[in-house]
């Protein structure tokens, strides 16, 4: 009976250790922005309303090579991950 309790304790301990390792490493990889202004504490872009013209399409997936504008990279991202991100479209009325 004592060996059985030790075995159950070892299994539970191993499961908890594995769970906490998974949580720790998942948090490290949870970063959304992996390439734009990584040295900044916070990425902030300012666009003058006069520069918008008729309309502008802005990236929200953080993967655009024309940041802050959308280059439709989100389409491939959505297909690969099952995500549903899309651009922000600003139009002048």
Active site residues: 42
Is residue 56 classed as helix, strand or coil in its secondary structure?
strand
User: Beta-carbon neighbour count of residue 39 at 10 Å?
Assistant: 4
- Taking the C-alpha atoms of residue 13 and residue 2, their distance in angstroms, rounded to an integer, is 16
Query: Which residues, listed in sequence order, are joined to residue 58 by a DSSP beta bridge?
Result: 69, 88
């Amino acid at each position: 009976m004592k060996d059985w309790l030790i075995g159950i304790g070892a299994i539970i301990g191993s499961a908890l250790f594995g769970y906490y390792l998974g949580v720790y490493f998942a948090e490290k990889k949870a970063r959304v922005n992996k390439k734009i202004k990584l040295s900044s504490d916070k990425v902030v872009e300012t666009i003058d309303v006069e520069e918008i013209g008729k309309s502008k399409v802005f990236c929200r997936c953080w993967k655009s090579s024309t940041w802050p504008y959308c280059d439709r990279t989100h389409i491939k991202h959505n297909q690969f991950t099952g995500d549903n991100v899309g651009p922000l479209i600003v139009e002048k009325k």
